[in-house]
Amino acid sequence: MEKRIGAAIILIQDKSYVPELNAILNIHSDIIIARQGLPLSDRNLNIISLVLEGTTNDISSLTGKIGKLKGIQVKSVLTKQNVENGNKKNLGTTGH
């Protein structure tokens, strides 16, 4: 399958599910290019941003598992271009 570059934003409102979140991220670490965490303690909110490269199925698997966790929300966006060995093909967008 063709790979795409994308991003996911994870909003954590219930820290009790962070161990499960970290386990999911570890399982899918092969598609995570970059990860940044931002604690907003004064708002009782934590944000994790991810830069991803993988097939739409791989990225959907990651975001779908995260989306099932209580107290955690995830939104993702994928580029219109497929990435294969440095070549790009324009095929449209998808979001979760």
What is the tens place of the pLDDT at every residue in 47-89? 999 999 999 999 999 999 999 999 999 999 999 878 775 554 4
Model-level pTM?
A: 0.83
pLDDT band at 92 (very low <50, low <70, confident <90, very high): very low
* pLDDT score recorded for residue 86: 55
Quick check: 95 pLDDT over 50?
A: no
Going along the chain from its start, the domains and CATH numbers come out as 3-77 (3.30.70.1150)
Residue from 74, 58, 50, 76 nearest 3 by CA: 58
Backbone angles phi, psi at 15, to 5 degrees: -70, -15
Residue 96 pLDDT exceeds 70? no
Tokens of 55: 């097939």
Q: For 1-11, how does the pLDDT look when each residue is reduced to its tens digit (9 = 90+)? A: 899 999 999 99
